Each structure stands twice: as structure tokens, then as C-alpha cells.
Structure 1
Amino acid sequence: MTDLTATLSARTLARPRAPDVIVGSRASRQAAWFGIVLVLLAATLPWWGESSWMREFVEIACYLIFAMMWNLLAGYGGMVSIGQQAFFGFGGYVMLMLGNYAGINPFIAIPLGAVAAGLIAVPVSWVAFRLQGGYFAIGTWVIAEVFRLSFANLSIVGGGSGTTLTALRGIERSTRQNLTYWMALACVVAAVLLVYLFLRSKRGLALLAIRDNPVAAESQGIPVRRMRLAVYVVAAFGAGMAGALYFVGNLRISPDAAFSVNWTAFAIFMVVIGGVGRIEGPLVGALIFWALNKLFSDYGTWYLIGLGLLAIVVTLFFKDGLWGYAQRRWGWSLFPTQRHLKP
């Protein structure tokens, strides 16, 4: 009995030990604590800040959420879409109809609009996934135009001229602004955590494998089509949430505003400037976009030309975006998703 125990112990010691895998780092943990403090501080803004600050935050939060969803779809999933405004506008219209005609509080209707956008993405994917590469990108734009024309012909929501969100009339203006701001802050935190936790999971690794080589990924047993559908639905859900939130703050919606291709164009700009395929990319890009919009938006057409030139310069000299350059040179990573073996 003693010999048997000794033999088993020897075999156990001889068995190779599984290597320890590290995902985070000390810097990322410090950044996480700093982010928590920053969010808690931001939550107090309605008590000491100005209403204009809250309105600006709500607007840039919508752009940020939309850009993060586009980055998830294209930067991580490899599905370059220029028609995600279809779900942005759909979420906004669902929120308005639930608020104006179903008597649902618009702040409760925001997540419901996001869910509706995610659900409508399932039948839309049956059409979009038949296309590949550039045809997929153009096809998503055509789908967004179909959405725009469809809502432009619905008289119940004001047709082409749009309509106003009347469900918030009974709420005091300051209360409405505070609730909109807190909802925007919660949506930003939820979007960042959703994307980060997804990419840290096994499904996130599968998504990266599909982006790099879908044929090889499928040969390894990864359900490529099901994974792409899941990412497409999640991206549509986030876009719908951004749209519903934006029009709660704007109080008015129209087909041209809700389904404008500018939403996707600005999202691409933010992701390219910050860094495609990085969670930090849309965050950095959104801050730069907000600063440029604040300083130069009065210049009209020249402002848009400047944005295009800046995107070209970054693409030529910083191929991984500004954050990608910083990460490669100094090793910065606020949201690490790569796994490393512990030395």
C-alpha cells in the first residue's frame, strides 16, 4: 500500500503542470480602479455641473456607444458595415412609439428599443450575410436606406418630416436632463463592460479566429455563422440603445436624422483615429472627435474636410491608430484581452 501511494505521488509530481495564464496587469488593475472613481465622480455632475455639460456628454456618449459597436462588428468580427445607422434609427423610433403611443416611460423604452433593434437584426442578417466583402458593406447601406424610406412613409410617426417625443412633457426640464445624463452614463459603462467581458471570454477568442481566417476557424470546430450572427445582433442592440438614448435627449426624430450615414462615417472616423480592434480605440477617438467638433464645427464644410484629412494622415503614419501606436511603443493597455504565460 505504501509502495502504491509512493508510485502515485511520483507520477503526480512527474506530470507536467499546467502553465499559469495572465490576462490583466498591474497597470490595467490601477486603470480599472481609476475608472470606477471617475464614473462615481461623473455620476455627481448634475449636482455641481452645468446643464450644457450634461447635454454634450449625452451626445458624445451616443457617438461612443455607436462607435464601440461598430468596432466590435468590424474591428473584431471582420464585418465592415456602413449601414449600422439602420439599427440606430430603428431603436430611436421604437423608443418614441413606445413612449408616445404605448404610454411607456421613455427611459424604460430605451432598453426596449435596443432589444427591438437586436431582434430585427436577425431577419436582416439573412439578407446581409448572403454578401461578402465590399458587397456586404454596400448591402448594409442599402438596408439602412430601406429602413429610412419605410419610416418616411409612416404617417403615424410624422412621415418624412418626423415627429416630437411628447411622452416627456409632464417631467420637469431639470429632472429630464438629469435622468438622461445618468442613463447615458449607465449605457456607456454597460457598453464598455459588455464588449470587454465578451472579448475576454472563449467566444471572444473564437471571434478573433474567425476574423483572421474563417475557414481555419471552422475547421477547428468554431461555429462561424452562429458567432457572426451573435456579434451582428449584439452590435445592433448597442446601436439601437445609442439611437434611443440620443433621441430621448434630442426630443425629436426624423428619418433623415435617424438613418443618416453620417452616424457610421463618424463612428469609422473615431475607430480609425483611436485604433481598430482595440477597446480603447473608440474611447480615444470619441474624445478627439468631441474636441474637434467643439473647436472647429463652426467652419462647416472645411471642418468635414479637416476630419477627412486627419483620418488620412493617421491611416498613413499610425496604421494601428493613436492608441495602437502608444500600446506598441509603451505597452499601454487599459482593457487587456490577450493572454500571456506567467514566467
Structure 2
Amino acid sequence: MTVIAPGISVERWTASSRLTLAVMTVVAILLAASPAFMGAGVIDRMTALFIYVILAAMWNALAGFGGLVSVGQQVFFGLGAYFTIRLADAGLDPFVSLFVAAIVTGILSVPLSWFMLRLKGGEFAIGMWVIAELAHLLVNLDRLIQGETGTSLIALNAYDSGTRRVTIYWLALAAMIALLGALFALMRSRAGAAMQAIRDNEDAATSVGVRVAATKRLLFVLAAFGIAVAGGLWLATATTFQPKTYFSVQWTAYMIFMVLVGGIGKFEGAILGAVLFFVIETVFGGTGVWYLVGLGAAALLFSLYLPQGLWGAIERRFDLQLLPVGYRLTFSDLFKAKQ
């Protein structure tokens, strides 16, 4: 806490935020030890939850913190899975391939950012969708993939099903924690403050010396890498790869839903939205097309009546910040009394 005037101070950490980090540390330890007590089905579902959290956090970073709304992030999800297949086919261990594929996708996103970040608003959103469709078509040309017939990550057959399931679980948990930690640290840095300044007013941010292009590129590449990790992990759980599935716009639709419901621009909101989506999918996923209709209707209602999402409403109602990425002014009781 920094005092800037009598009775007025600036703080980043609160008692609740410190307690939250302690609780999250304990939960992470318990989750790491949980496979010893969980059945195969529960392990698979928890792995899916970790992947959803990654997807929501990365889209929220791009759109909520950076103001870069995209409907084509499935391009990185698909490429993460595709390069995993390619690297494993070349002889690399399939679990190592997951993360090497994400690095390759992140590297490819750098030159892509030089073109895409020149676009603004809706142009950027649609432009990313076009890139996703183009990548989909190019992957279909690969003889290994066999068009929409697809292929499988057969290298995973070297591991027995129990070992494979638990390893993927631990990798997904580790990836989620690492990416959330990296994003949290980034958003609390000078670069994070610059990103939010660009989101709020790009011209004003430029006028005070913010390097707009470089800052946007950093966020763009981080989101690409994180979503590619999620794509590789999803491939490991499903083992089969069909381009039309991994490059489907439904993945970005899921990301948007989770962030809108949880709270766009709120670090906690993306996590809450992912958990809610996971619960809804678990309970209603078997209802077919009505499940998708329900998701669309829920997203529309939240956009109209709770534009800040559930966590935004909670934060406003109770003045609660569990994982603050910005600063907040606090006023002493004496200062308030004088007012």
C-alpha cells in the first residue's frame, strides 16, 4: 500500500487477494494429487475443465485486456493440434510434441501479427476468421491428414491408457497454472498497464509514449501460444484429428461465451465463466442442438442485462477483487468523515 495523500492510499493487494492466492495454491496441490482418488471419467472431465480455463483466459486476455475481439482464434487451436500430429509423426515424443507445437504456432503468429494488427475492430475480428478458414484449407492438403478424414495421434499408443490419462491430466493442470500465472504477472506489469490503456483509448495511449504495435503483438502471441497448448491437449485426450472439428468456429464461440458470462476484462471472470460452461456442458451437453441454442440465448441475455458478466456484478455489488491486476484507491474512515 502506498500513501499518496493524507487519508488516501493506492493498493494492489488486499487481505482477500492474499487469501485467494493461498487457497489457490492449496487447491492446485490437491488437484495434482487427485488422480490417485479419481476414476477415469472424472480425470477426463477435469482435464477438459483445465483446457476450458486456458481457452477462456487467453481470449479474455486478447479481447478483455487488449481490446482485440477475434472470432478466429480457432486457427491457433487447430494449428496446435496439427503440429502435434506432425511432430509426433516425425518421431518426437507425443507429450513433448504438445508444447513444441505450441511454440511453433506462437512463432508463426509473430509474422501473422504484422498483418492482422493493422486491422481495427470488426475488420480484425473477421480477418482472423478468414485466416482460420485458410489454415483449415491448407491443413486439408497435407497427405498425412487425408483431408477431412483426418488421422490419429497413434504415437500415444506407446503408453498404456492409465498412464496416458494421468499424464495428460497433469500436463493440462500444469499448463493452466503456468499460463494463468504468466498472464497475471504480465497484466500487473508495465506492459499490462499499457495494454489496458490501449484498450481504453489507443490514441491517448500513443500520445503518452505507449508502444502500441509492440504491446498488441505481445498479447497476440501469448494468446496464440496458450490456445495452441489447449489444442494440443485436446488432441491428446481425443487422439483423433479431423480438421473440420479443430478449426471449427465453435471453439471461439465457446471462448466468447465463457468470457461474456464470467466477465470480460476481469481476470476472475474468465475462470468463473469456464467453470460455469463446464457445469452446463456436463449437465446439458447430451441434449444436442438445444444445448447450443441455450448457450446462444444465455450469451445474448448476459450481453443485454449483465454486460460486465457475473464476476463484474459481484465485484460491483461487494467491492471484491480476488485477483486484482490494476490499482485501486482506498480512503480512510477519517477522510470519508471529512467529506
TM interval, shorter chain, is over 0.9
Q: What amino acid maps onto 1:231 in structure 2?
A: L
1:235 maps to which of 223, 226, 229: 223
User: What is the CA deviation profile of residues 225-260 of structure 1, one whole-angstrom value per residue up to 9, with x for unaligned ones?
Assistant: 111111111110111111111101111111111111
Q: Which 10-residue stretch deviates more, 140-149 or 312-321?
A: 312-321
Q: Are 2:34 and 1:45 equivalent residues in the alignment?
A: yes
Q: What amino acid maps onto 1:90 in structure 2?
A: L
Q: Are 2:202 and 1:214 equivalent residues in the alignment?
A: yes
Q: Which residue of 1 aligns with 2:150?
A: 162
Using the alignment, how far apart are the partners of 1:260 and 1:85 within structure 2?
6
Higher Rg:
1
Shift of 1:75: 0.7
TM-score by length of structure 1 reads 0.92
2:241 maps to which of 223, 247, 253: 253
Q: What amino acid maps onto 1:180 in structure 2?
A: I
Shift of 1:336: 0.8
The alignment covers a number of residue pairs equal to 326
Using the alignment, how far apart are the partners of 1:27 and 1:56 within structure 2?
29
Q: Which residue of 2 aligns with 1:298?
A: 286
Change (3 A) 1:317 1:341: closer
Q: Are 2:60 and 1:71 equivalent residues in the alignment?
A: yes
Q: Which residue of 2 aligns with 1:200?
A: 188
1:313 maps to which of 301, 316, 322: 301
Q: What amino acid maps onto 2:23 in structure 1?
A: F
Please give the secondary structure, in 1, of the residue aligned with 2:157.
coil
Please give the secondary structure, in 2, of the residue aligned with 1:334.
coil
2:116 maps to which of 128, 141, 156: 128
Q: What amino acid maps onto 1:212 in structure 2?
A: D
Shift of 1:21: 4.0
Q: How does 1:263-278 map to 2 (within 5 A)?
A: 263-278=251-266
Shift of 1:20: 6.3
Answer yes or no: is the 8 Å Cα contact 2:89–2:155 preserved in 1: yes
Please give the secondary structure, in 1, of the residue aligned with 2:13.
coil
Calculate the aligned-residue CA RMSD, in Å. 1.5
Q: Which residue of 2 aligns with 1:100?
A: 89
Shift of 1:296: 1.2
Using the alignment, how far apart are the partners of 1:148 and 1:60 within structure 2?
25
Q: Are 2:156 and 1:149 equivalent residues in the alignment?
A: no
Shift of 1:341: 4.9
Shift of 1:290: 1.1
- Give percent identity, aligned residues only: 39
User: What is the CA deviation profile of residues 253-296 of structure 1, one whole-angstrom value per residue up to 9, with x for unaligned ones?
Assistant: 11111111000000000000000001111111111111111111
Give ranges in structure 1 of 5+ residues lacking alignment.
1-15
Q: Which 10-residue stretch deviates more, 117-126 or 171-180?
A: 117-126
Q: Which residue of 2 aligns with 1:185?
A: 173
Q: Which residue of 1 aligns with 2:74?
A: 85
Q: Which residue of 1 aligns with 2:319?
A: 331
Answer yes or no: is the 8 Å Cα contact 2:52–2:278 preserved in 1: no
Answer yes or no: is the 8 Å Cα contact 2:262–2:272 preserved in 1: yes
Answer yes or no: is the 8 Å Cα contact 1:160–1:254 preserved in 2: yes
Using the alignment, how far apart are the partners of 2:288 and 2:160 within structure 1?
34
Q: Are 2:277 and 1:289 equivalent residues in the alignment?
A: yes
Moved over 6 A (4+): none
Using the alignment, how far apart are the partners of 1:252 and 1:335 within structure 2?
37
Give ranges in structure 2 of 5+ residues lacking alignment.
333-339
Q: Are 2:160 and 1:140 equivalent residues in the alignment?
A: no
Answer yes or no: is the 8 Å Cα contact 2:49–2:274 preserved in 1: yes
Using the alignment, how far apart are the partners of 1:265 and 1:126 within structure 2?
25
Answer yes or no: is the 8 Å Cα contact 1:115–1:237 preserved in 2: yes
User: What is the CA deviation profile of residues 290-338 of structure 1, one whole-angstrom value per residue up to 9, with x for unaligned ones?
Assistant: 1111111222111111111111222222121001000110122221112
Using the alignment, how far apart are the partners of 2:298 and 2:328 within structure 1?
35
Using the alignment, how far apart are the partners of 1:341 and 1:138 within structure 2?
39
Shift of 1:157: 2.5
Using the alignment, how far apart are the partners of 2:213 and 2:314 within structure 1?
34
Using the alignment, how far apart are the partners of 2:146 and 2:31 within structure 1?
36
Using the alignment, how far apart are the partners of 2:86 and 2:322 within structure 1?
39
Answer yes or no: is the 8 Å Cα contact 1:24–1:337 preserved in 2: no
Shift of 1:107: 1.4
